[in-house]
Structure 1
């Protein structure tokens, strides 16, 4: 004797089968997502930013015609309270005006923005939070401060800290574009939105 097609056990098997198919589809869609994508965006770690910034160092440049500046050992930290990232580096300034190089830390903080043409997350309006060189001779303090501002403007302004690959801007075949950027304690979250 066969069961009628509307019996509870047959309906239960149909729903169980449908649920299994839905779970399989969801697993395939999640497998297609680039690493880092979550339900509402992309999160990259402080370590990924550290690696990207470190590739720019050591940095050497002449400023104001007679100050040779070298920056090394950058360290990236996150400031979720101000929605900014911070970069501290060891600075060394050499000039014929000094008997020995001036050394000390340079600390810069910056917001972040997305640049669609380059598919990158970039520093936005970095500012010097600290530039403490040891043994600065009298009379050159203003020039040293100017060097700090030039470093922030020339070295770090609009610097790409993360560049998306084209395939990373598609989730399950649907194009997405980075939206709101939020600095978190453990990384930076970039909200996904439809273009």
Structure 2
């Protein structure tokens, strides 16, 4: 009876070790790994609201309440923010709204997924005149280009990257079947 318990315990430990190994091997199953919009949303929620200085500190742009979605059948994600702008030290409380659409790319220097040429879909800033709205739109476009270059929407987990199969590297990133799919290349 005692030997049977030891044997059962050894089998359970072996099974757990095998599951761990299978998990490591299946992380990049079929040379790809997928992320849900919810995973990306959680990453964004941790990093916002944020205020960015533009034009040498003359303008502050505040982005808050990020909302990420992938419209059905689309190959780009949609990212919406509450936006506020302040000038000459004035606070830019978020009273407006902006929405953008973008593909994603992988950047090895940040180990993250970045926007690719974000396309401003909607920009509403209440109380701004037509002239300011055009100037504000230029500031927002500049901010989006800078953000796309330097800030990832999502950082890949170092443990996941450590499980890359030998001889493989991150390839293209696609929006597929309502999720983000990172493909591997040789």
Q: TM-score, normalised by structure 1?
A: 0.69
Match of 2:35 among 44, 52, 55: 44
Matched residues, number: 165
Question: Is contact 1:182–1:188 with CA below 8 Å preserved after alignment?
Answer: yes
Q: CA RMSD in A?
A: 3.0
Cross-structure match for 1:93 = 85
1:165 aligns with 2:152: no
1:66 aligns with 2:47: no
4+ runs deviating over 6 angstroms: none
Cross-structure match for 2:4 = none
CA shift for structure 1 position 32: 2.6
CA displacement 1:86-128 (0-9 Å, x = unmatched) = 21010112336x9x96721111222211223443322222222
Match of 1:120 among 112, 123, 128: 112
Cross-structure match for 2:70 = 78
CA shift for structure 1 position 29: 5.5
Seen in structure 2, the aligned counterparts of structure 1 residues 150 and 118 have a Cα distance that, compared at 3 Å, is closer
Q: Secondary structure at the match of 1:93?
A: strand
Identify unmatched segments of 5+ residues in structure 1. 1-25
CA displacement 1:28-86 (0-9 Å, x = unmatched) = 75333365x33231011111111222233111123335332211100011246452222
Identify unmatched segments of 5+ residues in structure 2. 1-17
Match of 1:174 among 166, 171, 184: 166
The structure carrying a bigger helix percent of its residues is 2
Q: 2:109, 2:59 → 1: CA distance?
A: 35
Task: Give 1 or 2 for the bigger CA radius of gyration.
Answer: 1
Seen in structure 2, the aligned counterparts of structure 1 residues 77 and 102 have a Cα distance that, compared at 3 Å, is closer
Seen in structure 2, the aligned counterparts of structure 1 residues 104 and 164 have a Cα distance that, compared at 3 Å, is same
1:150 aligns with 2:142: yes
